Structure 1
Amino acid sequence: MGLVALDSIKEKIILGQIVEKAVACKAWLTERVDFVLGYLDEDLSIAAKNISVALKAVEVAGVYDHQGSCKLELALARNSWRVTAQGLLEGPHKPKIQQIQQHLKAGLAISIPPEDYFRQRLTEVRHIGLQWADKAKKVSVDSGALGLDKVFELMMEGENLTIQFDKELKLLRDRSMLYCICRKPYDQRAMIACDKCDEWYHFDCIKLSLPPKIYFCPACKLQTDVDLCASPSLTQERSSGSKLEEPQTPSPHRTELRRKSKKPKSRKRKTLVPADSDSLKRSSGTERLLWRNRKPFRRASRKRAELESLSPFFYVRTIS
């Protein structure tokens, strides 16, 4: 009986020591986990070090504590959230606004404190980005009310944001392109392209009701009339053997030959009409392509004919 009692006492002592060490381990783990859960600063290495030590201690101790395990899992989830947030803010690629919003929502699900550094940064970035996007959308449909210099400043501001706004920047680039004699951006009104310079004009600005088969804008029409008036004198000069420089603007005759050599499909009327127009129909599927690839609005000036054309009227005496 004495030996049995002695063994029982030894077991109780050993169990007491185990419980004492388990309680001490739990207290130590709780301290580490609570530190991680309460850590709110920017430096993630400090929290990562404490989590790593806590995980090793749990593995070595071999003692399961439900409450402690739940708190450790929460600490791991929060640290993972903060690492992802750092990647969104400081990564090589700009995140989209949807990614920022989704990550903030995920942070609320695991109770990230409002004082957390990365939650505050993401909230600030989201607020600035949404404000800019809202302003960009309003400017893109203001029918040219804001000056181009302000539009370019807004574009630069958007490009310098830490969030990616491809759609809004594209709208502003389209908004910065001006057309027609009114020099306004594209505003869904019906338009027609000049067959000579490819500049686009609003139907109402040029007093046009229906699209003609061939359309020359006022500037190109004036240039064409000048070419037609100058063509008899040019013909006389060429027949007299003079050498004139080729005009930069093609002559009406050559233009007509080029038109005749084109296939019939190339003579489709290039127009842009709004979706709700009843009197005009939209062209077949190439409006946006033509719109993006429109030629710059340039006009070449003709050079003056040289006085060499008068050379046949001079007599040069040869000395033998």
Structure 2
Amino acid sequence: IEAKDVLQEVVDVALECKTCLTDIVKFESCYLDKDLHVISNKLTITLKAREAAGVFDRQSNSALDFALARNLWRVRVSKLLEGLTKPTIGQIQNYLKEGLLMNISPKDHYRQKLMELNRIGSQWADVAKKVVLDSGALSLDKVFELIAEGENLPVYLEKELKSLRARSMLYCICRKPYDEKAMIACYQCDEWYHIDCVKLLSAPEIYICAACKPQAEESSTPQNVDGGRTNAEFLEPKTPSPKHTNSRKKLRKAEPGLAQKMLAIANNSSVFDCSSGIDNLWWHNRKPFRRAAKKRTVLDSLCPFIYTQQ
């Protein structure tokens, strides 16, 4: 009889524990609030009571474990949303999948928050993908506005932001963003050009763009001049014929007169210019005439030196 009474007491305790577990599991499944302290405390008390009861009930234990896992999901989502770094769109979508498998209610605070962030991030990502593939149709100022909008979102979209920043870089003479067309880089300025835009049939080993070609020609002209001089040094001089010498003598006799006239004219003009320039300089820098001594208004002190005829 005593053993039967003890067994009855154990059964009663097990039933009470099962009832408590069932109530806590139902409360947890219906809990939709942001504050997790209430449900966490109740689940902790229930877990301790199950261990103290010493009764194994497979159904009740599995239900309690499932409730604990659901609550742990809420705690992890709360830490993700309240962390110092922004959650990525991949993290948000992974937590949404886990919540769907755990039968988290669509009215749950944390699931609604994840769904809202997923909607905001997905909408912006769709717009960003269209802009990346528009071949430069959207103006740069609009692209920069879209980048700033993406940086201010509560969701971090690394891939889309990186693609938009690459889209804002313009190349070639067509000033278009990078696409998958064949391109070639200038050997001097490292600017990229489409092979079709620069009208090349094939990619050469060394390509210099039109903007760098004048610089290349300037750098190459002194070398050509020096090369011409060096080649001229090795040429054998030829003795001119008498006719050429006579004509040169006549030219030399006639040239000094013309050269002297031109030199005289140039000297006269330079002298006149110089004199006119000096005159202008003197005129602008002249000092005004001033009295060396102040004019006396009272002449009493000079009375002994003034001779007056009486």
Task: Give the TM-score normalised by structure 1.
Answer: 0.61
Find the residue that maps to 2:211 and give its secondary structure: helix
**Aligned match of 1:132:** 124
Question: For each residue in 1:206-235, what CA deviation from the matched residue of structure 2 results, as whole angstroms up to 9, or x when unmatched?
Answer: 33333445433222224455xx4xxxxxxx
Choose the corresponding residue for 2:44, options 33, 47, 52: 52
Which of 75, 84, 89 is the equivalent residue of 1:97?
89
Task: Report whether the alignment pairs 1:199 with 2:183.
Answer: no
Cα 1:33/1:254, change in 2 over 3 Å:
farther
State the SS of the aligned residue for 2:50.
helix
8 Å contact from structure 1 (residues 104, 122) kept in 2: yes
Q: Give 2:67's aligned residue.
A: 75
1:143-182 to 2 correspondences below 5 Å: 143-182=135-174
Q: What's the secondary structure of 1:46's corresponding residue?
A: helix
Q: What is aligned with 1:209?
A: 201
Gap change, CA 1:12 and 1:156, over 3 Å in 2? same
- 8 Å CA contact retained: 2:21, 2:46: yes
How far 1:177 sits from its partner (Å)? 0.5
- What SS does the corresponding residue of 1:115 show, helix, strand or coil? coil
Q: Residues 135, 255 of structure 1: CA spacing in aligned structure 2 closer, same or farther, 3 A cutoff?
A: farther
Residue aligning to 2:211: 219
Q: Which runs of 5+ in 1 are unaligned?
A: 1-7, 229-250, 257-312, 314-320
Residue type at the aligned position of 1:108? L
Q: How does 1:34-53 map to 2 (within 5 A)?
A: 34-53=26-45
Give how far 1:50 is off: 0.8
> Which of the pair has the greater relative contact order for Cα pairs under 8 Å at 6+ separation?
1
In structure 2, the partner of 1:261 is none
Q: Per-residue CA shift, 1:87-118, capped at 9, x if unaligned?
A: 33233444443333232222222211111111
Which residues of structure 2 form unaligned runs of 5+?
225-269, 271-310
146-155 or 205-214, which deviates more = 205-214
Higher share of residues assigned helix: 2
Contact 1:33 1:54 in 2 (8 A): no
Give 1:269's aligned residue.
Answer: none
Shift of 1:138: 1.7
CA distance in 2, matches of 1:23, 1:213: 86
Contact 2:13 2:53 in 1 (8 A): no
Q: Quote the RMSD (CA, aligned, Å).
A: 2.9
- How far apart, CA to CA, are the structure 2 residues paired with 1:27 and 1:254? 100
Hey, what does 2:232 align to over in structure 1?
A: none
SS state at 2:188 partner: coil
Moved over 6 A (4+): 253-256
2:134 equivalent to 1:142: yes
Paired with 1:130 and 1:255, the residues of 2 have a C-alpha distance of 61
Larger Rg: 2
Q: Distance in 2 between matches of 1:136 and 1:214?
A: 36
Helix, strand or coil for the counterpart of 1:218?
Answer: coil
One-letter identity of the residue aligned with 2:41? K
Percent identity over the alignment? 55
Most deviating of 20-29 and 172-181 = 20-29
What is the alpha-carbon distance in structure 2 between the residues aligned to residue 94 and residue 174 of structure 1? 22
Deviation at 1:18, TM superposition (A): 4.9
2: CA distance, partners of 1:127 / 1:189: 34
Flag the 1:132–1:17 CA change in 2: closer, same or farther, 3 A: same
Alignment of 1:269-280 (within 5 A): none
User: Secondary structure of 1:219's match?
Assistant: coil
Q: Structure 1 pair 23/94, CA: closer, same or farther in 2 (3 Å)? A: same
Contact 1:177 1:185 (C-alpha < 8 Å) held by counterparts:
yes
Q: Cα deviation per residue 1:276-299 (whole Å; 9 max; x = unaligned)?
A: xxxxxxxxxxxxxxxxxxxxxxxx
Aligned counterpart in structure 2 of residue 65 of structure 1, from 39, 57, 75: 57
Residues 92 and 114 in structure 2, CA contact (< 8 A), matched pair in contact too = yes
